[in-house]
Amino acid sequence: MRFFSIKVSKFFSILCIFLLGIVVYSQTFQHSFHFDDYAFIVNNPAIKDVSRVGLMWDMLSQPSRFVGFLSFAVNYHFHQLDVLGYHVTNLVIHLMNALLVWWLVGMIVRSLNRVQTPEVCMRYKTAYKPRGFVHGSTVALCAALIFVCHPVQTQAVTYIAQRMASLATLFYLLSVCLYIKGRGVETRLIASVHFFGAALAAVLGMFTKEIVITLPLAIILVELTVNEPRRFGNPNLRGSFTVLLLFCLIIPALFSFNFSGLLFAPKISASHEGEVITFGKYFFTQARVFVTFLKLAVFPIGQNFDYDFALSQSLFERATLLSFALLAVLLGVAVKIRRRYSLVAFGLFWFFLTLAPNLIPRRHIIYEHKLYLAMVGFAIVVSVGLHHLIKNRKQFIVTMLIILGLFSYLTIQRNKVWKDDITLWTDVIQKSPHKSRAHHNLGYAYMLKGEDDVAIEYFTQSLKLNPKYFKAHTSLGQVYARKKDYDKALMYYSNGLKLNPSYAQGYANRGIVYKDQGQLGKALFDLNKALELDVYLTEAYVSRGVVFFMQNQAEKALQDFDKAIQIDPQFSAAHYNRKLVLKQLIPKPLNNGIFSETKSNK
C-alpha cells in the first residue's frame, strides 16, 4: 500500500507540473517569429537540411550554440516554418526542466534528511534540525511549479530563438541530477553509468550555450550543501568531478582562449544609445542588473524585451553602490544560514552562481532569458523558505496556491505581448521610448505587413533618436526600393553602408537596385562585395547570377544559382532562375529538324 501511495504521489506531481505548464503557455502556439528568430530560423540556410551537419557547423559564428541550431534544423525538417512545432518543442523542454527541478530538490531533500541525523550532526559539529523536511515531496513540487509558471520565464519559452537558454538549462540540470543520483548509488557499475550520463549532458550543454560553464561549480555547491565532509574526499568522486571540471575548458576552447578579447575589448552597447562598454563599467553595471533580476523574480511587473539600460560609470554612483551592498548582504545571509537552512542557502548561491557568466561583457547588458537557469535557485528559496516560515501545512499550501495563481496570471498576460512583432515592439516602445532599435523593429513589422507609410514613420523616428543607426537607413532603402523610388533607396542604402561598411546585406540590397536600374557594373561590384563579406548570402548569389545572365555570361550565372542551391536547397528563387537559364541554353530545332547551336539569351 505504501508503494502505491508513493507512485500516486509522483504521478500527481508530474501531472500538476504538466497541466500548469500547458495552461499558461497553450495560447502561445501560434505566436509569430520574433527578432533573432529570423536570423536563426526563417532566413538561416544552415538549418534547412538536417543531414548537412558539417555545413551547419561551418556556417555558425558561435560553435558553442551548435546543439541549439541542430534542434532548429530538426524542427524545420518536420515543420518547415510552421511556428506550432517550434513552440511545442520549447514548451516540452520547459516542462522537462521543471521535472528536473522537482527531481533535483527531491534528491537534495532526501540527502539532507538522511545526512542530518543527531549522530551525524554531533560528529561533524553541525546544527541539527529537529523539524527536518517532513514534507519534502511537497517542497519539491512547489519549487517545480514556481519554475514552470513564473512570468520571467516567458522570454526563454515563448521566444523561440531563446531555446538556447532553456535547452542549455535542461542539459545543466540533467548533469547535476545524474551526478547526485550516481553519487548515492553503491554499485560501481550503475554509478559509472550515471556519471557518464552527467558528463555527456555537460558536453551537450556546453555546445548549446555558454552558461553551462559554471556546471562544475554547481556540483561543488551540491557537495558542500548536502553531503558529509568525509565523503567529499572519496577518490572515485574526486575522479568523476575532475572529469567534469575539465569540461570547463570546452567553452573557452571554442573561443580560442581569447580571454583578453572577451573581457577587455571595447564594445558598442546595444542597451543604451551611444555608450561604449569597457570591462570596468560593465562589471559595475551588472550589480544593478542582478538587482533588477532580483526585483523581477520577486515582483515580475514591468517586464521588457529590450531594456534601455545605461552603463554605470563608477562604483560610487548611488544606485551601483547600493546594488553591491544589497548583493553582499544576500550573500552574507546565505553564508550565515548555510548550516541551519542549508537548502535556502543553496538556492541563493545557485541564483548568483548561474548568473556569473553574465559578468563577461556582452553588447546586450540585460536580457530576461538570462534569468532562466537562475530561477531554479529562486524557486528553491521561495518554496523551502516558506516551508520553514509557515509551520502549518495547510497554510503553506494555501500560500503557495496564491503565489502560483498570481504568477500564472502574470505569465498569461505577458504571453499576450508575444503574439506578434507589432504587439511586442509596441510594448517595448512604451517602456523604452528612446531606443531607436525598438522604433525600427516596429517599423519593420509594419513593412512586412505591407504598410509602408506607417513603416517609414517609425524608421524616421528611429533615425531621429539615433542618426547613426545603420539598420534604419537600410530599411528605409528597402521601403523606397519597393516603391520604385530608386534614388531615395540608393541614398539610404549608401548612408547605411557609410555607417557600417561591413554590412553584407546592405551591399546586396544596393546591388539589386543597381541591377533593376540596369547599372550592371555597379551592381556586380556591390554583389561581389556582399559575397566577400558573407560567403553564405544566397540572395547575393542569385542576384549576381541574374546580372551575369544579363551580361550574356550564362555559365557564370548557372554557377551562382548552383551555389545558392547548394547552401539552401529550398531557395525557390535560385531554382526558378536556374530553370530560366537552362531553357535559354537548350538548342532549338530548325525547320529541317536539325538543332541550332545558337544560344538565345534573355
Rg over alpha carbons for the chain, rounded to the nearest Å, is 28
Bridge partners, 595 (sequence order): 589
Can you give the pLDDT at residue 593? 36
Does 295 lie in the same domain as 157?
A: yes
Can you give the pLDDT at residue 237? 56
Q: How many CB atoms lie within 10 A of CB 117?
A: 12
Does 130 lie in the same domain as 17?
A: yes
User: Which distant-in-sequence residues (6+ apart) come within 8 Å of 14 by Cβ?
Assistant: 99, 102
User: Which distant-in-sequence residues (6+ apart) come within 8 Å of 472 by Cβ?
Assistant: 436, 439, 440, 443, 459, 462, 463, 466
Chain centre distance of CA 526? 33
Can you give the pLDDT at residue 131? 38
Q: Record the cell numbers describing residue 374, joined without a space.
A: 537562475
Residue 592 lies in a domain: no
How far, in Å, are 230, 243, 268, 370, 450 from residue 505 at the CA level? Answer: 61, 44, 20, 29, 21
Q: Look at phi and psi of residue 518 and say left if phi exceeds 0, alpha if psi is from -120 to 50, else beta.
A: left
- Of 402, 417, 432, the position where a domain reaches its end is 417
Bridge partners, 589 (sequence order): 595
Can you give the pLDDT at residue 7? 42
Bridge partners, 268 (sequence order): 276
Residue 595 lies in a domain: no
Q: Record the cell numbers describing residue 232, joined without a space.
A: 567529499
Does 509 lie in the same domain as 373?
A: no
Residue 263 lies in a domain: yes
Encode pLDDT of 69-97 as tens digits.
999 999 999 999 999 999 999 999 999 99
Give the chain's largest Cα–Cα span. Answer: 109
Does 442 lie in the same domain as 390?
A: no
303: pLDDT strictly greater than 90 = yes
- Of 375, 390, 417, the position where a domain reaches its end is 417
pTM attached to this predicted model = 0.90
Encode pLDDT of 393-442 as tens digits.
889 889 999 999 999 999 999 999 999 999 999 999 999 999 999 999 99
The vertex-362 CA angle with 376 and 503, nearest 5°, equals: 130
Encode pLDDT of 313-347 as tens digits.
999 999 999 999 999 999 999 999 988 888 999 99
Does 343 lie in the same domain as 463?
A: no
Query: Regarding predicted confidence, which is higher, 389 or 261?
Result: 389
DSSP H or E stretch at residue 521: helix 520-533
Residue 112 lies in a domain: yes
Residue type at 456?
I
DSSP 8-state code for residue 594? P
Residue type at 359?
L
Does 534 lie in the same domain as 432?
A: yes
Report d(CA 206, CA 210) in Å as an integer: 6
Please answer whether residues 413 and 372 qualify as being in contact, where contact means their C-beta atoms are separated by less than 8 angstroms. Answer: no
Residue type at 411?
T
Does 382 lie in the same domain as 431?
A: no
Report d(CA 437, CA 598) in Å as an integer: 54
Q: Record the cell numbers describing residue 347, joined without a space.
A: 538556492
C-alpha count within 13 angstroms, C-beta hemisphere, residue 226: 26
Can you give the pLDDT at residue 2? 40
CATH number of the structural domain spanning residue 549: 1.25.40.10
Report d(CA 491, CA 504) in Å as an integer: 17
Does 79 lie in the same domain as 139?
A: yes
407-430 per-residue burial string, b: 16 or more CB within 10 A, e: under 16: bbebbbebbebbbbbbbbbebbbe
Q: Give a three-class secondary structure readout of 146-174.
A: HHHHCHHHHHHHCCHHHHHHHHHHHHHHH
Report d(CA 64, CA 206) in Å as an integer: 6
C-alpha count within 13 angstroms, C-beta hemisphere, residue 525: 5
Residue type at 431?
K
Report d(CA 506, CA 529) in Å as an integer: 10
Does 126 lie in the same domain as 212?
A: yes
Please answer whether residues 462 and 493 qualify as being in contact, where contact means their C-beta atoms are separated by less than 8 angstroms. Answer: no
**Three-state DSSP class for 267?**
strand
208: pLDDT strictly greater than 80 = yes
Please answer whether residues 269 and 275 qualify as being in contact, where contact means their C-beta atoms are separated by less than 8 angstroms. Answer: yes
For every residue of 409-477, DSSP letters joined together read HHHHHHHHHTSSHHHHHHHHHHH-TT-HHHHHHHHHHHHHTT-HHHHHHHHHHHHHH-TT-HHHHHHHH
Residue 590 lies in a domain: no
Q: Record the cell numbers describing residue 392, joined without a space.
A: 502549518
Residue 596 lies in a domain: no
Can you give the pLDDT at residue 463? 97
Does 93 lie in the same domain as 223?
A: yes
Does 459 lie in the same domain as 370?
A: no
Can you give the pLDDT at residue 342? 87
Residue 177 lies in a domain: yes
Q: Look at phi and psi of residue 302 and say left if phi exceeds 0, alpha if psi is from -120 to 50, else beta.
A: left
Can you give the pLDDT at residue 257? 63
Q: How many domains does the chain have?
A: 2
Q: How many CB atoms lie within 10 A of CB 119?
A: 9
Q: Record the cell numbers describing residue 454, joined without a space.
A: 506607417
Can you give the pLDDT at residue 472? 97
Does 428 lie in the same domain as 284?
A: no
Report d(CA 234, CA 217) in Å as an integer: 18
Q: Is 523 exposed, middle or buried (0-12, 13-18, 19+ CB in 10 A)?
A: buried
Report d(CA 483, CA 451) in Å as an integer: 12
How far, in Å, are 332, 512, 547 from residue 554 at the CA level? Answer: 73, 18, 10
Encode pLDDT of 491-523 as tens digits.
999 999 999 999 999 999 999 999 999 999 999
User: Where in the sequence is the domain holding 110, given as residue range(s)?
Assistant: 2-417
Encode pLDDT of 441-496 as tens digits.
999 999 999 999 999 999 999 999 999 999 999 999 999 999 999 999 999 999 99
Report d(CA 223, CA 155) in Å as an integer: 31
Nearest residue to 330 (alpha-carbon basis) of 379, 370, 287, 375 = 287
- Of 372, 394, 417, the position where a domain reaches its end is 417
In this structure, the dihedral spanned by the alpha carbons of residues 145, 148, 153 and 157, taken in order and rounded to 10 degrees, is 180
Q: Look at phi and psi of residue 301 and say left if phi exceeds 0, alpha if psi is from -120 to 50, else beta.
A: beta
Residue 386 lies in a domain: yes
Share of the chain residues as helix, strand and coil, in percent rounded to the nearest 5: 75, 0, 25
